[in-house]
Amino acid sequence: MTQTITRGIKAMIDEANALIETMDARAVMDAAARGDVVIVDIRDPREIERDGRIPGTFSCTRGMLEFWIDPESPYAKPVFQEDKKFIFYCAGGMRSALAAKTAHEMGLAPVAHMAGGFAAWREAGGAVEKVEPRKKD
């Protein structure tokens, strides 16, 4: 039997973008310079090692997001309890829209995501920090 998907990724991303704030790369750069935000990189560690990251960002893979946000979770990260705005980014802006929507639905506020993701950041001339691959045991 073939699966019937009734709500595809396009609809989910459109819903997220209608609900949460979307910022362009220049606005994220300005916010980062003010220091009143936490910029959250939700890309996979392999992407970060390959492409680098925005300096000063907090890395949280998409798969751990809910667990790290919830203060009742044994995996909770204190950064998500800070009284700051949280701006999520990924490679191209789709995963970050979904992540920001999830964070918003959990009660994290204020949240936003960066349109175009890391690619837009680089195109806008944003600084990129090289990340060394983790040593394998």
Classify 88 as helix, strand or coil. Answer: strand
Classify 37 as helix, strand or coil. Answer: strand
The mean pLDDT values, 10 residues at a time, for the chain of 137 residues are: 92 96 98 96 96 97 97 98 98 98 98 98 97 78
Q: Distance (Å, rounded) from C-alpha 73 to C-alpha 19?
A: 25
Q: What's the confidence (pLDDT) of residue 135? A: 75
CA distances from 111 to 51, 101, 123, 129, 136 (A): 24, 8, 23, 23, 35
What is the Cα 104 distance to its own chain's centre?
Answer: 12
Q: What's the confidence (pLDDT) of residue 137? A: 64
Classify 31 as helix, strand or coil. Answer: helix
Q: What's the confidence (pLDDT) of residue 83? A: 96
Instruction: Decide: 99 and 62 in contact? Cβ < 8 Å.
Output: yes
Q: What's the confidence (pLDDT) of residue 24? A: 98
- pTM (predicted TM-score): 0.93
Q: What's the confidence (pLDDT) of residue 86? A: 98
Please tell me the CATH code under which domain 15-123 is placed: 3.40.250.10
Q: Delimit the domains of the chain by residue range.
A: 15-123
Instruction: Decide: 116 and 89 in contact? Cβ < 8 Å.
Output: no
What is the Cα 91 distance to its own chain's centre?
Answer: 9
